[in-house]
Each structure stands twice: as C-alpha cells, then as structure tokens.
C-alpha cells in the first residue's frame, strides 16, 4: 500500500531523542529516512542505558524504527562530498546538533540552499535564534525548567519538579514534524525550501499555555480559585505549584483506592465536572448533596473540596482502581485508573490499536515500543526494527552513484 510520505527523502542528522522522535514519525508515514551517523560510534543512545551487552539499547531502538542507517564522517572531504550528493537528492534535512555544529561542518543555510533550493532544513535547538541563551546545549529537563513547566509542577511545599513526559524532547520533535509538513506543503506551491526551527523552550511553553493564562489572572485578581491554595492558603505574585489539581475549570485530584498502602499506583484520577455533580452524588450515595446550596455549585464546593475528596476516598477504600472506574464510568464521571508502565505494556486495548507494538530486532529479538499515536482511516502504520549502525551504508552510497570500488575505498579510509 502506498504511504502518504512515499517519495520524500530525509537526511536524518538527529541524535538522542528530540530529533529522532520527529524523523521516526515521518518514517512511519512513508518517508525514506536516512540516519547519518559517525562511523564506529553512531547515535550515543545506541550504547546508553544498555540492558543487553553489545546490542543497541532500547533508548535507540524505540526512537529509530523504520529508518535506514548510513555511517559517514562529515568532517572529511570525501564525507562532505557524499553529503553534498545527498543534499542534492533529498527533500528535508533534519538536525538537532548543538548550536552552530552544521555551520562548522561547512553546511551553512546559504550553502545548502545553493546546493538544493528546494531542500527544507529543520532544526531543534534548546533556545530560539537570537535568544540570550541561544548558545546553550540543552537536554530534556533543562528545557522543562526554561519553558515554565518545572516551576508550575509539583507540590507547593516542595521544589520545582520535572515531568516524566518528554515535554522537552519528543514534544519538540512533534512540533518540528508539524513544521516540516507545513514547509513541504509550502514547497509544493512555490518550489522553494526553507529553514524550520523549533526550540525546546518554546515547545515546552506551548504546552504550558494555561499557566501563562494563570499568571495574568493572578496579576489581575490576586488568587486562582481552582488551585488548592484557594481559599484557605496564600498566593504570592507567581503561579504556584498546584499538586494534582485539575488546572482547568474542573476540580480534580488523585485519590487513594483499595491497596494503596502497598501498591504505589492504587489510585484513580477523579474529576468533579460541574454538570456531573448530580451523577457523582448518586454514585457516592449522597443524593442529598445534589440540591444542597452548600454543595450544588462549583463555588459553594470550593472551600470544602478536600473534604469532598476525603469522602470519595472513604468510598474508594474497599474498591480497586479498576472496580472504582467501572462503577464511575456508568455515571459519566471523567476518571481513570493511574496505570503503571507494567499495566500499560500488557493493556490489551493498547496492543489492539497498535499504540503498544512488539517489534523484531536483529540483535535484540522482540521488544515493545510505542507505535503511532495518530490513527488514519487510510493508512496502517507498520513499525519495523531500528537499523544497525551503518546497515544501509553501501545501499545508500550505491543509490548515490558510487561504484563498489569507491565504496570499498571509503570503508578503507573510515569515511563511512
């Protein structure tokens, strides 16, 4: 079956997570993604956090499926010549080197544009061009701190906290993928390539939009009624950490279920959606709260919201998280069990939808990965194993017109 991005050739100069997450997504949808790696070493994640000696680590395999691997030393004259040929033939070059690395390699934007005016050059950096921190190298948690996520995550009596979700890395990669697809659309209209840049700080901030909303509300009125600090605690002049509060117009909290004393994930998230108040009261066996003016509006409930959560925890104390959700779903209450990674790995629905997939790898054998979170009616995404280092070097060089002897000489000289 043909895929939407068939025929799009991508030079994948990415490493670690932010860039590889982007190019993996494009590879799933049909692009020919050629991962360019340093001979002998490759992407650092091939050997980081290894669980099987000498085999590519899961960190690498889970972010580089459906790609081809070309080893190439782009700091040698012959390596640069190969890269020039690739640039002439490709549609997109994606990179997430430290600031200035591509320029230092000799591939400035004017030079690339001269080689192939239709090429899209897509970059991830920690901070945007011209930012006072533009020279900084950045990893995930640095971005979460710089993008406003850490100062607004965690509990009010603890330090700023980072999220386990890759807001700085994979999230930035997803933003970059949108940028690349937009630039490809633009190119079909104009024939022209362009530079697409996404910073990790900006991508984190884009997901913290509601916290910037809250800062402005706080500046204006001095309090935020949906935060646990209201009405009994105090506010300073900055958005506080709100623990597990809902953050929108719907109060919510993580609540203990049966077994929480020994199981770290025996919890559900419970949301008190305004119009679901009557079903909630019925589910909890408190029908008298439905019309009680002390409870029947969000405003009336706010000063006793933690007493209400404590009452719900009492109700939950003899129910597992799954039993609780099975009851509450019948009352249309937005809630979910807190799932461990082990439960997610074995979840039959996630397996059936292709969100959790088992993939075969030449060195590792079978492993689990996260498949496409985007589902299409006209495309079924097949996730294949990640390439070994340099697995496709000869094939790619042959495709660029190099003869067998020339390829052998490049191996001999360790250019590839």
Binder among 22, 26, 138, 312 for ligand COA (CB under 6 A): 138
Instruction: Please tell me whether residue 389 binds ligand COA under the rule CB under 6 A.
Output: no
Instruction: Please tell me whether residue 98 binds ligand COA under the rule CB under 6 A.
Output: yes
CB of 76 to ligand COA, least distance (A): 8
Q: Rounded to an integer, what distance in angstroms lies between the CA atom of residue 15 and that of residue 64?
A: 10
Provide the token pair at 377. 């009616």
Residue closer to ligand COA (CB basis): 75 or 209 = 75
Q: What is the CA radius of gyration of the chain?
A: 26
Residue closer to ligand COA (CB basis): 200 or 208 = 200
Give phi and psi for 44, each to the nearest 5.
-60, -25
Residue closer to ligand COA (CB basis): 17 or 152 = 17
Binder among 17, 151, 201, 372 for ligand COA (CB under 6 A): 17
> Does the active-site annotation cover 103?
no
Give phi and psi for 313, each to the nearest 5.
-65, -35
Binder among 97, 107, 289, 309 for ligand COA (CB under 6 A): 97
Q: Which of 12, 32, 56, 169 is catalytic?
A: 169
Q: Rounded to an integer, what distance in angstroms lies between the CA atom of residue 323 and that of residue 325?
A: 6
Binding mask 18-47 for ligand COA (x = CB under 6 A): xx----------------xxx---------
Residue closer to ligand COA (CB basis): 252 or 387 = 387
- Could you tell me if 397 and 416 are in contact, meaning their C-beta atoms sit under 8 angstroms apart? yes
Question: How many Cα atoms within 13 Å fall on the side-chain side of residue 62?
Answer: 17
Instruction: Please tell me whether residue 75 binds ligand COA under the rule CB under 6 A.
Output: yes
Closest Cα partner for 355 from 345, 363, 343, 365? Answer: 345
Q: Rounded to an integer, what distance in angstroms lies between the CA atom of residue 17 and that of residue 62?
A: 10
Binding segment for ligand COA (CB under 6 A), chosen from 15-23, 227-235, 335-343, 385-393, is 15-23
- Could you tell me if 275 and 283 are in contact, meaning their C-beta atoms sit under 8 angstroms apart? no
Instruction: Please tell me whether residue 74 binds ligand COA under the rule CB under 6 A.
Output: yes
Q: Rounded to an integer, what distance in angstroms lies between the CA atom of residue 191 and that of residue 156?
A: 52
* Binding-site residues from annotation for substrate: 248-250
Torsion of CA 23, 354, 264, 60, to 10 degrees: -30
CB of 164 to ligand COA, least distance (A): 15
Binder among 124, 177, 239, 359 for ligand COA (CB under 6 A): 124
Instruction: Please tell me whether residue 101 binds ligand COA under the rule CB under 6 A.
Output: yes
Strand partners, 78: none
Q: Rounded to an integer, what distance in angstroms lies between the CA atom of residue 275 and that of residue 283?
A: 14
Residue closer to ligand COA (CB basis): 304 or 414 = 414
Binder among 48, 52, 104, 384 for ligand COA (CB under 6 A): 104
CA quadruple 177, 182, 185, 189: dihedral sign: negative
Active site residues: 169
List residues near ligand COA by CB under 6 A: 16-19, 36-38, 72-75, 96-98, 101, 104-105, 124-126, 137-139, 169
């Amino acid at each position: 079956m043909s895929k939407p991005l068939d025929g799009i050739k991508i030079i994948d100069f990415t490493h670690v997570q932010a860039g590889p997450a982007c190019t993996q997504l494009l590879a799933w949808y049909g692009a020919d993604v050629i991962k360019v790696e340093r001979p002998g070493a490759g992407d650092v994640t091939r050997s980081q956090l290894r669980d099987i000696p000498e085999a590519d680590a899961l960190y690498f395999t889970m972010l580089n499926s459906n790609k081809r691997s070309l080893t190439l030393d782009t700091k040698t004259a012959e390596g640069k010549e190969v890269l020039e040929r690739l640039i002439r033939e490709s549609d997109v070059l994606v990179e997430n080197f430290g600031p200035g690395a591509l320029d230092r390699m000799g591939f400035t934007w004017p030079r690339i544009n001269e080689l192939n005016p239709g090429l899209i050059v897509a970059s991830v950096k920690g901070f945007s061009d011209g930012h006072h921190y533009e020279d900084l190298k950045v990893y995930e948690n640095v971005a979460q701190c710089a993008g406003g996520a850490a100062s607004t995550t965690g509990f009010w009596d603890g330090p700023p906290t980072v999220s386990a979700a890759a807001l700085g890395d994979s999230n930035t990669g997803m933003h970059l993928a949108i940028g690349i697809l937009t630039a490809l659309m633009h190119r079909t209209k104009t024939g022209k390539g362009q530079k697409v840049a996404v910073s990790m700080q900006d991508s984190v901030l884009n997901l913290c939009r509601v916290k910037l909303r809250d800062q402005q509300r706080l500046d204006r009125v001095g309090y935020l009624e949906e935060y646990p600090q209201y009405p009994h605690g105090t506010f300073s002049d900055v958005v506080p950490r709100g623990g597990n509060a809902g953050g929108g117009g719907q109060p919510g909290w993580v609540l203990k279920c049966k077994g929480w004393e020994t199981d770290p994930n025996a919890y559900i998230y419970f949301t008190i959606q305004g119009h679901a108040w009557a079903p909630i009261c019925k589910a909890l066996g408190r029908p008298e709260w439905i019309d009680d003016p002390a409870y029947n509006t969000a405003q009336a409930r706010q000063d006793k919201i933690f007493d209400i959560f404590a009452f719900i925890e009492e109700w939950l104390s003899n129910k597992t998280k799954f039993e609780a959700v099975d009851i509450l779903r019948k009352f249309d209450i937005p809630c979910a069990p807190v799932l461990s990674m082990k439960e997610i790995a074995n979840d039959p629905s996630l397996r059936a939808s292709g969100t959790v997939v088992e993939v075969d790898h030449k060195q590792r054998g079978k492993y689990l990965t996260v498949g496409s979170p985007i589902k299409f009616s006209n495309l079924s995404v097949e996730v294949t194993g990640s390439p070994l280092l340099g697995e496709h070097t000869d094939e790619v060089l042959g495709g660029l017109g190099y003869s067998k002897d020339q390829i052998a000489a490049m191996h001999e000289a360790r250019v590839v």
